[in-house]
Amino acid sequence: MPCLFCCLENTISVQDTIVVVPPYPYSIEDDPADVPFEDCWYARPQLFFNCHLRPSGARPPKNPSYKIGPDDLLFQLVFFSTFETLDLSIHGPMEDAEVLKLYDPSPIPCLYVAPVANMLGRVPLIPLFLAGNSTPTIPHKFSKHKGSAFPMGSADTANADGRRGSNVYEVNHWLWMFGRGKPRLGGLSVAETAVRKSARHEDQVKRAVETRRRRKAAKASSK
């Protein structure tokens, strides 16, 4: 289904970590519930947006000034960057516990677009300080393993004051398994908290508009 144009509406910028069904080899016709979990990707949403797609051979808008045709389909999409698995041949308590280690591809990120319905949930990530490193990045000592362990990333430079390597994280599967250790503030659910946050933001926008209106009126009356 070729996309002849894209309309951005209600754009939202979000920084979080999620599990997402990859856009390939899966498609919008596949049910996310049928996708094996081991095939899913770990990702960070960069933008949520609505996009109208026009199937091949579909009718264009009757009015040339319109952008949306009668056969166009509206999809909710997410633009995201992915994490990659860090495959270092090291052994220790984390490896015995089968803790998954991820890194941020750098300096060039891996970017994709997929339906919002392909997002399966959030992932608890924790910065990982490997081999006693002072920062949660790939230590310089592992730079010789770039080709096999982190081909899309980079390690710290030899100089302590030099460029830092790719950020490294561990998936906290214990937190993922047991969830929150205490009730949410105010006893609200996730959905109720989101509604309250949205209402607070709308109220702030209204107050800002009203403030600008009063200032403009006061400035005009003083002339």
pLDDT by 10s per residue, the chain, length 223 = 444 444 444 444 346 888 999 988 887 778 888 888 889 999 999 999 998 888 888 898 888 888 888 989 898 999 999 999 999 888 888 888 888 999 999 989 999 999 998 898 888 889 999 988 889 999 999 999 999 999 999 999 988 777 789 999 999 887 777 655 555 556 667 677 778 888 888 888 899 889 888 888 888 887 7
Let me know if residue 3 belongs to a domain. no
Cα→Cα distances 118→1, 36, 100, Å: 18, 13, 21
pLDDT at site 5: 41
Let me know if residue 129 belongs to a domain. yes
Q: Is residue 88 a contact partner of residue 131, using CB atoms and an 8 Å limit?
A: no
Helix (H, G, I), strand (E, B) or coil at 78: strand
Helix (H, G, I), strand (E, B) or coil at 44: strand
pLDDT at site 43: 95
Let me know if residue 2 belongs to a domain. no
pLDDT at site 28: 75
Q: Is residue 38 a contact partner of residue 19, using CB atoms and an 8 Å limit?
A: no
Q: Which residues of 103-137 are buried (b: 16+ CB within 10 A; e: fewer)?
A: bbbbeeeeeebbbeebbeeebebeebebeebeebb
Residue 189 Rama label (left phi>0; alpha psi -120 to 50; beta): beta
My answer on whether 206 and 172 are in the same domain is no
CB count in 10 Å sphere of residue 154:
20
How many angstroms separate the CA atoms of 207 and 185, rounded? 26
Model pTM score: 0.68
Q: Is residue 105 a contact partner of residue 84, using CB atoms and an 8 Å limit?
A: yes
Let me know if residue 76 belongs to a domain. yes
By DSSP bridging, strand 168-171 and strand 41-53 are unpaired
pLDDT tens figures, 113-149: 999 988 988 888 899 999 888 899 999 999 999 999 9
29, 144, 26, 148: which is closest to 87 by C-alpha? Answer: 148
My answer on whether 192 and 219 are in the same domain is yes
My answer on whether 196 and 150 are in the same domain is no
My answer on whether 107 and 202 are in the same domain is no
How many angstroms separate the CA atoms of 178 and 172, rounded? 10
Helix (H, G, I), strand (E, B) or coil at 52: strand
- Number of domains composing the chain: 2
Query: Domain limits at 129?
Result: 18-179
pLDDT at site 11: 40
My answer on whether 36 and 125 are in the same domain is yes
